Amino acid sequence: MSALHPDWLNPDRWLACARNADARNVQQALTAECPGIAELAMLLSPAAGMALDRLATRARFLTRRQFGHTIPLYVPLYLSDFCKNGCVYCGFASDRRRPRRRLERDDIIAEMDSLKAMGFEEILLLTGERTPHADFDYIRAAVILAAERFDLVTVEVFPMTREEYHGLSEAGCTGMTMYQETYDPAVYERMHRWGPKRDYQYRLETPARALDAGLRTVGLGALLGLADPAWEVLALFQHVQTLRKQYWRAGISASFPRIRPQLGGFTPPFPVSDRFLVQAICAFRICMPDLPLALSTREPVWFRDGIAGIGINKMSIASRTTVGGYHDGNATDGGQFKVSDSRSIEDFCAMLKNKELEPVFKNWDAAYRDISQSA
């Protein structure tokens, strides 16, 4: 694994600005006509943290202008928790002593039918690393089942080849999510003790391979808490910029997951405060007004309620991080991480409506896919 960043990934030059910007710089960033990474660095500074209300006001305005009052909803379905990797921060790591399981075809159908009955039209399929229990053929079969039931089918699984992503696209997969976990190569090497995931460069190039293969959307993110969070947010911004320039027709989105308690008891070396997470989300929105920003049920209820519509425009709900658990309701401890927002769909949607936000289960974009392909 290379110890160097690729040419396009170099947040170091902006980190001093993120640490040392003053109130004048923050005002400059907030009023910039076309803010970029320089302004993002200013808005990640302690000085900008002192002006958080102004950042939130600007982020809310831009979110409403671009996305209206809608909050699309999605749901994750964990297919398997078998894994070969030794990620120190993950409850699925291969050295965690826990029972392992994968969903068989009938289980997958039952789980998906239960999620469909809840109203979801977008599903995210997840596994651990590629294993004989959950390989490409297994994922492809699950995608086919999902595409028969949902408008949007995305995957968050192991990195694949271009040919494999093309196969998923033909099976009905519309997109993928691939968190780099940390963009710092030295930290990445320490956090991934063994397994295929140790290959930093291969993982970094995975979203580009997926888009080359015909997938229409990719989701990016860094697992905040592993390295300097300002550095990670700057690197994430550079990654998004790079993909948008090369794949300008694709849909790129970003997420901001923080490390949550999990089997193994890993303590993050760079804990991320609630205040900084809000600041990072607002700063990203200000500097990329049209980029979809998602937030999962990792975050607590009060945080999700507060940030909905302020930077964040897409959210998950009713999530289980165990394998299965929707159909039989028997979710147990030992998921990939602990869910913080365990509200029902009804309670969550009621909250959104009280904030004058509209939960969206149906994404009509998928209805035009066949038309555009046959035109």
pLDDT reported for residue 365: 52
pLDDT reported for residue 335: 54
Give me the DSSP letters along 98-159: S---B--HHHHHHHHHHHHHTT--EEEEE-SS-BTTB-HHHHHHHHHHHHTT-SEEEEE-S-
Separation of alpha carbons 305 and 303, rounded Å: 5
pTM to 2 decimal places: 0.93
- pLDDT surpassing 90 at residue 137: yes
pLDDT tens readout for residues 324-333 = 888 876 554 4
- pLDDT surpassing 70 at residue 130: yes
Q: Please report which confidence band the pLDDT of residue 4 belongs to, taking 50, 70 and 90 as the band edges.
A: low
Rg (CA), the chain: 20
- How far CA 276 is from CA of 16, 47, 270, in Å, comes to 17, 12, 12
- pLDDT surpassing 90 at residue 90: no
Q: Please report which confidence band the pLDDT of residue 99 belongs to, taking 50, 70 and 90 as the band edges.
A: confident
Q: Please report which confidence band the pLDDT of residue 97 belongs to, taking 50, 70 and 90 as the band edges.
A: confident
pLDDT reported for residue 264: 60
Separation of alpha carbons 173 and 66, rounded Å: 26
Is the distance from CB of 325 to CB of 331 less than 8 angstroms? Answer: yes
Is the distance from CB of 170 to CB of 216 less than 8 angstroms? Answer: no
Among 277, 314, 281, 272, CA closest to 297? 314
pLDDT reported for residue 106: 97
More confident residue, 208 or 318: 208
Question: What is the DSSP secondary structure assignment for residue 196, as one 8-state letter?
Answer: G
Is the distance from CB of 278 to CB of 44 less than 8 angstroms? Answer: no
Domains of the chain: 51-363 (3.20.20.70)
pLDDT tens readout for residues 229-286 = 999 999 999 999 999 999 999 999 999 999 876 556 788 999 999 999 999 999 999 9
